[in-house]
Structure 1
Amino acid sequence: MTRGQNLTINGSGNYPGGQYDKISIRGDGTINTDVECSAFHIFGTSEALENLKTGSVKVFGEAEVKGNMESEEMLIMGTMAVGGRAALKKMKILGTLDVGENLTGDEANIKGTISVGGDVEYETFESSGGFEIKGLLNADKINISLRFGQSFAEEIGGGMITVKKKSNSFLPFGKETGMLTAKVIEGDIVYLENTKADIVRGKKVKIGTGCQIGTVEYTNELTQDQSSTIKTKTKTNL
């Protein structure tokens, strides 16, 4: 990453883009053009009117990038919005992330919520929060813990897909549990709980508790919990 001078904003104002070392915003700052930096740390409110490329991102306040974004590592405790596409190699979301187009990277760890207007593609995707993905969620390993609320993806594809309900420790007596909804879920090994899907495909498929599935297509093995419904079961040969 190209090194430049630091940019520290404690008050409010508009600043040019370009190449910086570290950007730290504790007030209210707007960056007018493309910006590239080694670290982008937001404790207040920031707005980048075009594209952002950075090594480390930490958002404790509110940040918005109108264009596209690239980062090596990201931690969001507050809220962040990216208008275009986002390439976030290693991200941890404890707050909220909103991406207008596609989201890609290596490792995704979501304890808060994400909303994505396009596809999501990662090597590993772990969520114990909530998500709304209007396209395809694709990862080699997908591990989803449903604690509360509704999570949605148009399609889900991967090698190993695990979806489990998880009791909410903050509401030990509450009846609310999370639910995942997708049109198509396809993987090599698929285990589902609390899931609604039109089609599930896999080599080895296990339908656990609380599921409503239209069609299951499997090549090797299918097991089903008695509390779940599957309308059509089809064993296929590769």
Structure 2
Amino acid sequence: MRPEWLEPLLTRLRDAEAADFTRLPTPDGEGRRQSAVLILFGEDPMTGPDILVLQRAATMRNHAGQPAFPGGAVDPGDADTVACALREAEEEVGLDPSSVEVVATLPTLWIPVSNFLVTPVVAWWRAPHPVGPADPREVARVERLPIAELVDPAHRLRLRHPSGWIGPAFRIHDMLVWGFTAGVLSTLLELGGWAVEWPTGRVEELPTSGATPVR
């Protein structure tokens, strides 16, 4: 059974539009590769509701060292974007697809730098189990980020990319979460009714080590 704390978010997601998550209009799919990410909500007895993220290995060619949701490009064998998100999560962090309940799909979002159309898949982790990097060459670590910590004003800021782009970010569990992942997280916290006032005037420059193209 899904927890009561998740229901307000799911209710609001029924009417959510791409504009709630990004200022960029979503183009048609011609010439663009489809992909999906899994936004997995769980609940820890000690720390409460949380969201699972991974951190890319520092040696990867693209998005090295960046925190992200599990996910990737749709393969020919995937039935749809939901199947893609679950397959990628299994391959990246060892998630058992039967342990989750898919509860919503978000509007498809466009990432111009990679020309990907990304469908975020929202799921409830009804039977949590140990997870971790399935291949350390691709995934450095896996973390469950408590919502209580994500909304803590001390963990929130905005980052300015060298391109001039400014967006929300989170400094949490020794990670700097920014770009596409942070933008989606920020909107979900608002829609879920969990967000609290935070110092949006706190703007920092993106560290040089993280100055890869905005996701």
TM range (shorter): under 0.3
TM-score by length of 1: 0.21
Q: Which has the higher strand share?
A: 1
RCO higher in structure (CA 8 A, sep ≥6):
2
For the pair shown, the structure with the greater C-alpha radius of gyration is 1
